């Protein structure tokens, strides 16, 4: 049996099942990919922004989150952004309320920035 035949045989049990897409999970994954992209044009935090005296780091980052999501994610728009900087600068948490454009439902996501420069989207 060839490789293609084995794949087709393995997928035969799913032939009558419905495909279910979770658009909110897809939006979360897309936002996580966008925020963790390290290109110059859309990087969320650059070394130029890091300063020992910076007091508005969370405000700058929330503005960039808004810019990135509103520019590259067309399926949802941001209704509100809140942040928790009690553990700053080691950890910053952002709480976003978004509105899904297709059926106008609101959903929440949480973005956590740890000191390892990786953003986690929950």
Domain residue limits, the chain: 22-121
pLDDT band at 43 (very low <50, low <70, confident <90, very high): low
Residue 3 has pLDDT above 70, yes or no: yes
CATH classification code of 22-121: 3.10.450.40
Let me know how long the chain is. Answer: 122
Residue 44 has pLDDT above 90, yes or no: no
Number of H-type helices and E-type strands within the chain: 3, 4
Residue-wise pLDDT tens digits, 56-99: 778 888 888 898 889 888 899 999 999 887 777 677 889 999 99
- Mean pLDDT, the chain, rounded, equals 79
Q: Which residues of 41-57 are buried (b: 16+ CB within 10 A; e: fewer)?
A: eebbbeeeeeeeeeeeb
Q: Helix or strand or coil: residue 120?
A: strand
Q: Helix or strand or coil: residue 78?
A: strand
pLDDT of residue 108: 92
**Radius of gyration (C-alpha) of the chain in whole angstroms:** 19
Q: What percent of the chain has pLDDT over 90?
A: 8
Rounded mean pLDDT, 92-119: 84
Cis ω for the linkage preceding 89 (within 30 of 0): yes
């Amino acid at each position: 049996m060839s490789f293609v035949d084995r794949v087709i045989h393995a997928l035969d049990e799913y032939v009558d099942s419905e495909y279910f897409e979770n658009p909110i999970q897809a939006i979360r994954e897309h936002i996580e990919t966008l925020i963790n992209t390290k290109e110059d044009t859309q990087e969320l935090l650059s070394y130029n922004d890091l300063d020992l005296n910076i007091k508005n780091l969370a405000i700058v980052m929330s503005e960039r989150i808004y810019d990135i999501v509103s520019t590259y994610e067309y399926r949802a728009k941001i209704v509100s952004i809140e942040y928790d900087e009690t553990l700053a600068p080691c950890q910053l948490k952002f709480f976003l309320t978004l509105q899904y454009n297709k059926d106008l439902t609101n959903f929440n996501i949480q973005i956590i920035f740890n000191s390892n420069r990786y953003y986690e989207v929950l």
